[in-house]
Amino acid sequence: MSEEQIDWRETIDCLLDRTKRPFVPIDKMFVQMPRGSVKRKGPLATFVKNGDLRGLKAYLLIVASASSADENGEWHTTLSLQAWARAFGCFEQASEQSAKTAAGKIFARLEKRGLIKRMHEGGKRDVRVQLLAQDGSGQDYQRPKTGFLRLSHEFWKSKLDERISLPALAMLLVILGERQPCELPSERMPDWYGWSADTAERGFHELVHLGIINKQSRSKKTPLSPTGFTKVNEYSVLPPYDRSSQEQALRKQKRGRHE
């Protein structure tokens, strides 16, 4: 008979509440390599190509949970495999052993992509998950000081993680890394990010429907086009995912620690 489990949302909330920020800093190279690189697509493209929504959400939660470095400069979180499986939502409609197996497979995929290092502790009951460089190179992780995007903890607190699709989550990460408002031509997605224009359009449509981004169409001068004008779409992130809302949440969190 399986052990009784607390609600998996409580495990996520506990992980987030231990951190020092109300958002997750993610290196932009996870989404897109710098200009001048042979290929622009980052590790995110592999998640999209493989349809690995569960793996992507698990990775984002792992990054969120590692809020500070240890004395050796390593960023890691240690939990029992059972707790990791619960945080990943693997216990939903699954037995304890199946959930643990699913969590183990998630870790294996993230290791293969060079994003984490996994070690067993406490007689193999506990799993220490160490972050590696977010460009997928397998190098040591460094908390990004510049060139990073911010994913608000509201992604989990509002349970958006249960409702969002993989195309929408991928495009949310893209937009979060851009100056607002931003133009993101769908036809450039394969070269810039490594997934199709159709995937991008589905993501945009869902984000607008969920009230996460705003889409504005305008005419742009293109003197060599037939009419001299081209219609372009501009996207901007809405609260609570925009930069202003996150700065406000950070100030509120800091005040709370000093009260």
**pLDDT tens digits, one per residue of 71-125:** 889 999 999 999 999 999 998 777 888 999 999 999 999 999 999 999 987 666 8
| pLDDT, the chain, mean | 92
| 2 domain-assigned | no
Counting DSSP H helices and E strands in the chain, the numbers are 11, 8
| 198 domain-assigned | yes
Is it the case that residue 219 has pLDDT exceeding 90? no
Pairing between β-strand 229-237 and β-strand 182-183 as defined by DSSP bridges: antiparallel
- Beta-strand ranges (E) seen in the chain are 23-27, 76-80, 116-121, 126-131, 148-152, 182-183, 213-221, 229-237
Residue matched to tokens 């995007």: 149
Q: How far apart are CA 197 and CA 116, in angstroms?
A: 29
Is it the case that residue 257 has pLDDT exceeding 50? yes
| 85 domain-assigned | yes
Q: What share of the chain in percent tops pLDDT 70?
A: 95
Structural domain harbouring 95: 8-258
Closest CA to 172 of 147, 193, 143, 191: 193
| pLDDT value of position 122 | 67
Is it the case that residue 20 has pLDDT exceeding 90? no
Q: How many domains does the chain have?
A: 1
**pLDDT tens digits, one per residue of 124-142:** 689 999 999 999 999 999 9
Q: How far apart are CA 126 and CA 183, in angstroms?
A: 45
| 84 domain-assigned | yes
87 near 76, Cβ under 8 Å? no
Q: How far apart are CA 13 and CA 78, in angstroms?
A: 16
Tokens found for residue 49: 């190509």
135 near 29, Cβ under 8 Å? yes
Enter the pTM of the model. Answer: 0.92
**pLDDT tens digits, one per residue of 135-177:** 999 999 998 888 899 999 999 999 999 999 999 999 999 999 9
CA distances from residue 137 to 30, 106, 115, 218 in whole angstroms, order as listed:
10, 18, 8, 40
64 near 15, Cβ under 8 Å? yes
